[in-house]
Amino acid sequence: MIDEIDQKILETLLQDSRISLKELARRIGLSAPSASERLRRLEERGVIRGFTIDVDPRALGYQLQAIVRIKPLPGMLHTVQKLIEDTPEFCECDKVTGDDCYIVRLHVRSIDQLDHILDRIADKAQTSTAIVKSQPIKRRPPGIAPRDKAGERPALR
């Protein structure tokens, strides 16, 4: 579990992971050495796994995003997984329970590119595709609720 100070550290880093240690300490109300120690402990505990960048696929020319449910044909599970792993347009893949084995997210430049990628899987799996219109909630860690304009977190009901 994390306490309120750890929560503030995570919220601050989620907004800007390049923030200086001095500024992080100021925002959370600790000294720089105390903030550094808290940060180190969060990393050691595996709460913070790394610091990364957020790349906008549209800026790279990937105008469409799709979510595809994939159900491999009998005997094709590993072949399909290898195809997913080897196709750079697939940016996420979850192996799930239920009728489908995989739910994947991919970014493509066009519908033609989407068709080309799915055609490579068509003889090995059944697919069901949905084009993403918008993403009201970007990927975020669980338990970190956004704050309102007054800086308060909404109460859980």
Domains and CATH numbers, the chain: 4-44 (1.10.10.10), 57-131 (3.30.70.920)
Is residue 36 within 8 A of residue 21, CB to CB? The reply is yes
Mean pLDDT of 4-8: 93
* Per-residue pLDDT reduced to its tens digit, 107-154: 999 999 999 999 999 999 999 999 999 999 888 778 766 555 666 655
Q: For residue 137, what pLDDT is reported?
A: 86
Residue of 50, 66, 146, 155 lying closest to 106 (CA atoms) = 66
Angle, helices 32-44 vs 4-15, to 10°: value is 90
Q: Could you tell me the strand order of the sheet in which 64-72 lies?
A: 90-95, 102-108, 64-72, 125-131
pLDDT of 157 higher than 70: no
Q: For residue 105, what pLDDT is reported?
A: 97
Q: Which two tokens stand for residue 108?
A: 């493509």
Region label for 99, one of left (φ > 0), alpha (ψ between -120 and 50) or beta (otherwise): alpha
Is residue 105 within 8 A of residue 96, CB to CB? The reply is no
Average pLDDT, the chain: 91
Residue of 144, 152, 114 lying closest to 7 (CA atoms) = 144
